[in-house]
Structure 1
Amino acid sequence: MVRNGYTPEFAEKTFSQLEGFGSYGFPESHAASFALIAYASSYIKCHYPEAFCAALINSQPMGFYAPAQIVGDARPHGVEVRPVCINRSRWDCTLERIGNSGRHAVRLGFRQVKGLAVADAARIVAARMDNAFASVDDMWRRSGVPSEALVQLAKADAFLPSLTLERRDALWAIKALRDEPLPLFAAAAEREMAAIAEQQEPEVALRQMTDGHNVIEDYSHTGLTLRQHPIAFLRKDLSVRNIITCAEAMNSRDGRWVYTAGLVLVRQMPGSAKGVMFITIEDETGPANLVVWPTLFEKRRRVVLGSSMMAINGRIQREGEVVHLVAQQLFDLSADLTDLADRDEEFKLPAGRGDEFARAGGPDPRDKPKPVVAARDMFVPDLHIDTLKVKSRNFH
């Protein structure tokens, strides 16, 4: 300021005023803005839980939790969530009226189907505006999407809600299709205003997937499941190994040693935590919060960073409503999930953005420093700070 023509006394007075404001102004303004966001979010979640759930999923990728956890929280609070459907879903999640009750259900959108392009989803929605699809062949002809798009929908079980076609039945029907219908059959279908199959496939009774396999396929192709939680299928075996549920562990008294297990949802190591890692796991009864000390993390790094399902032996630490399980031993149970689906390859649980150690493709681009805008020196000789009257608040 002195270099720009201000006197040393004026510069010191200015900085003194800024210093006084800086001690409370920055935290206070941020606290107010966050309080407003927290209040508005809480109000919507309480009074309009369906809209809150749909909006969070439509805003992905964002936030701390993945769609599976958002849906997992909404359903116990009375929100009905309906699966992806070729005749009812749009790209985003939408709300559907439940009879005459005045309530709404959340219909999952095509955005949840891995590998499905936005353009193909738009063509599907446009093609069914007048009439719903009656079969796989009908959808293929009228929408004009490539057969690969139908394969992705079949893997996501999107033909089941309206056509009652299981995954394998839908995939079998798609096998008979090509990328474009033959002109002769296309012309005949247009003339008759009905789908005409190019070849009559014999009816085949395919062996359907087990419930556990369907759950794993749900996670693999939509990132969530509306069926039972994967751990529910393993509960009997886990009980034999004296592994209790997450709910039982979190409700245990302070200092109790427990042995529990769950799917790994979030791993975080804040810079201020001095190497302590915080992990959230989940089973069919709910989540559990873990604390992993640096020494254990270094010993079991592969288990901590590579497990989709983890077992923990540790001690409960309870302070009021805050409960943590301080881990003493960690075990990788990912193979149990692989066995659940009878898969040859390892099953990887979809991770949310909050999981700092499971992001694919490098760091979050939002974490990159913002470009610094060069300051502009604006010196107006006739303008003195004493001429600016700002209403202030004194804290004495």
Structure 2
Amino acid sequence: MTYGVVIYQEQVMQIANVLASYSLGEADLLRRAMGKKIAEEMQRQRTRFLDGAEKNGHDAVKAADLFDKVEKFAAYGFNRSHSAAYGLIAYQTGWLKAHYYHEYLAALFTSDAGNTEKVLNFINDCRLHDVELLPPDVNESQKNFSVVDKKIRFGLSGVKNVGEGAIDSIISARKEDGPFTGLYDFCQRVDPKKVNRRVLESLVKCGAFDFCGKTRAGMFSCVEEALSFGAKVQKEKNSAQFSLFGGELAPVRPPEIPDITEWVDKQKLNLEKEALGFYISGHPLERYRSDLKRFTSSTIVNLTDKADKSEVNIAGIITARRDLTTKRGDRMAILTVEDLTGYVEVCLFPKVFQTAVDILDQDVPLLLTGDVEHDEKGATLKAKSVRSLMEARAEKANEIHLQLSTLDLSESRINELVTVMRKHPGRCRAFVHIQVPQKLQTTIKLPEEFTLDPTEAFVEDLERLFGSNPTYFK
């Protein structure tokens, strides 16, 4: 029983047979027209159905309404066995998600690792359910995504340029001699024919060696040296298993990884995305959370809930851009814009494109106003205006707040902070919030000689000193 709702194609056949005197052969033609979505045949079937219903004494208006429902069903209708199989799969999937959520999500990540849009949805699902997604790690990651203490560990197969041969070599070396102690130890133990420069660079970029306690920038700078060192050690082991006096070869001390300042957040995240296809340890828009609340009316994931042609303000970064030329020779563009929740396609027609072209070339977060449009693919945005998010922030900001810990405030750091502040004079009053570990926070309002300019350059200079997101604006 389906309570008056058409679920199977066989039900349509029965409706046609009983109400419009279709033979079983004719009803099967109707089923095939629905299955193949043949519009012309469906129109012929409408005429046949209405004529048959009228001959049987049924109300013409009700018969037309019923066929409309049948036609709507035909847009996505299946036969009973197909529907039953889908129903069973839906039930099993729902059960797995309800009772084995972490394992279910890990399987989704593994099966769709190459689909960036789907993976981003899975990451948002993790956030909604407070599930931590752990980055790739050459000591902890398996080939596929796995569950570790109710957390999901990124699989090595999800890292770009890391093929099956490299993965097998890494896992085999790990099983044989235990965890890797660092970058140079790793290069001594894996197969250099399978783990080449591209593989190692991708692993460093995505954070798979973060356990070393060295900066990604430092490790990346010595990738070539580490590979050469590892190949040399392996060659010596293979060519001379024992020394002249019968003992084992003395271990060779690896070079030190240079103590290089870490990449600024933007560069670090961009390289991470280059290696994975998306961000995992953070997002370029994280530092703008307070700005997003102030200047946007919707997140991208919520655009599907907005009425067609409704105006919205969204913010995001450009992840893809396609420049086009109209028949009149005017330039326009199709953008893919990403925020913390998802992606959307944004169309910039010539008039808007002309005003925004300089901003589009700057690789900065954007604030976009436009009308939501819906089609079979989902929501898109027809842009009315495009501007820099920092420009909007600079116009509205009156105060700059620095969040620091007493652990950050050595004498040399304070002197560097003063230098940075003098480098970026402006109109915004500055406040420093100092957190004493496990104690209260104190706030200092800086004198007017330290009024500041709320630019991206100022924020990046502070990040080089104090790490991620040390500021917010009011």
Partner of 2:102 in structure 1? Answer: 50
Q: Is 1:329 matched up with 2:384?
A: yes
1:159 Cα deviation from its structure 2 partner: 0.5
1: distance between equivalents of 2:351 and 2:157? 39
Separation in 2, partners of 1:87, 1:288: 33
Tell me if structure 2 keeps the 8 A contact 1:86–1:159.
yes
Q: Is the 8 A contact 1:95 1:106 kept in 2?
A: yes
- What percentage of residue pairs aligned between the two structures are identical? 21
Question: Post-superposition shift, 1:128?
Answer: 0.8
d(CA) in 1 for partners of 2:460 and 2:122?
24
User: How far apart are 1:118 and its partner, in Å?
Assistant: 1.4
Q: Which has the higher contact order (CA 8 A, sep 6+)?
A: 1
Alpha-carbon distance in 2 for matches of 1:112, 1:210: 24
Structure 1 or 2, whichever has the larger Rg, is 2
Verify: 1:218 aligned to 2:269, yes or no: no
Q: Which residue of 2 aligns with 1:391?
A: none
AA aligned to 1:71 is I
Aligned-pair CA distance for 1:333: 6.1
1:283 to 319, 339, 346: 339
CA distance in 1, matches of 2:124, 2:205: 21
Partner of 1:65: 117
Encode CA deviations 1:306-332: one digit per residue, 9 max, x unaligned: 9996543135799xxxx9786451538
What does residue 134 of structure 2 align with?
Answer: 82
Does the Cα contact within 8 Å between 1:168 and 1:206 map onto a contact in 2? yes
Quote the Cα distance in structure 1 between the aligned partners of 2:351 and 2:92. Answer: 43
Residue type of the partner of 1:224? F
Report the residue type matching 1:86 in the other structure: V
Alpha carbons 2:297, 2:314 under 8 Å: kept: yes
Deviation at 1:121, TM superposition (A): 1.2
Aligned partner of 2:259 among 201, 205, 208: 205
Contact 1:249 1:258 in 2 (8 A): no
Over 3 Å counting, the alpha-carbon distance change for 1:202 and 1:42 in structure 2 is closer
8 Å CA contact 1:310, 1:330 repeated in 2: no
State the secondary structure of the residue aligned to 1:124.
helix
Indicate the residue corresponding to 1:116 in structure 2: 162
- Give the Å deviation of 1:129: 0.3
Q: Aligned partners of 2:116, 2:273: CA distance in 1, in Å?
A: 18
Matched to 1:212, the amino acid is: K
Specify whether residues 249 and 113 from structure 1 end up closer, same or farther in structure 2 by C-alpha distance, changes over 3 A only.
closer
After the TM superposition, which residues 189-200 of structure 1 pair with which residues of structure 2 at under 5 Å, given as runs? 195-197=251-253
Distance 2:380 2:225 in 1: 53
Name the Cα RMSD after superposition: 4.8
Q: CA separation in 2, counterparts of 1:69 and 1:317? A: 21
Deviations 1:216-261 (A, max 9, x none): 221111123332322122446667xx63263499599979754221
Return the alpha-carbon distance in structure 2 between the equivalents of residues 52 and 77 of structure 1.
13
* Secondary structure of the structure 1 residue equivalent to 2:29: helix
Residue 365 of structure 1: aligned partner? none
Between the aligned partners of 1:333 and 1:37, the Cα distance in structure 2 is 46
Cα deviation code 1:134-161 (max 9, x no counterpart): 1222211221234413233112221013
- Summarize deviations over 1:162-185 as a string: whole Å, max 9, x none: x22321232244332317225446
Q: Does 1:168 align with 2:214?
A: no
Give the match for residue 314 of structure 1. 370
- The aligned residue for residue 190 of structure 2 is 143
2:205 is equivalent to residue 155 of structure 1: yes
**CA 327–237 in structure 1, closer or farther in 2 if over 3 Å, else same:** same
Following the alignment from structure 1 to structure 2, what is the Cα–Cα distance between the partners of residues 189 and 167? 36
TM-score where L is the length of structure 1 = 0.59
**Partner Cα distance (1:194, 1:42) in 2:** 58
Superposition deviation, residue 290 in structure 1: 7.4
User: Could you tell me whether the CA contact under 8 Å between 2:136 and 2:156 is conserved in 1?
Assistant: yes
2:93 aligned residue: 41
Q: Relative to total residues, which structure has the larger helix share, 1 or 2? A: 2
* 1:19 aligned partner: 29
Using the TM superposition, give the Cα deviation of residue 116 of structure 1 relative to its aligned residue in structure 2, in angstroms.
Answer: 1.6
User: In the alignment, is the contact (CA less than 8 A) between 1:159 and 1:166 conserved in 2?
Assistant: no
CA contact (8 A) 1:258 1:313 kept: yes
Change (3 A) 1:298 1:51: farther
CA distance in 2, matches of 1:341, 1:147: 33
> Quick check: 2:314–2:367 contact (8 Å CA) kept in 1?
yes
Q: 1:129 aligns with which of 170, 175, 178?
A: 175
| Residues 296-351 of structure 1 deviation map (CA, whole Å, 9 limit, x = unaligned) | 657668999x9996543135799xxxx97864515386999x99999xxxxxxxxx
CA distance in 2, matches of 1:174, 1:253: 48
Q: Is the 8 A contact 1:138 1:195 kept in 2?
A: no
Asked if structure 2 preserves the Cα contact closer than 8 Å seen for 1:157 and 1:166, the reply is: no
Instruction: In structure 1, give the amino acid aligned to 2:170.
Output: I
Q: TM-score, normalised by structure 2?
A: 0.50
User: What is the one-letter code of the residue matched to 2:168?
Assistant: A
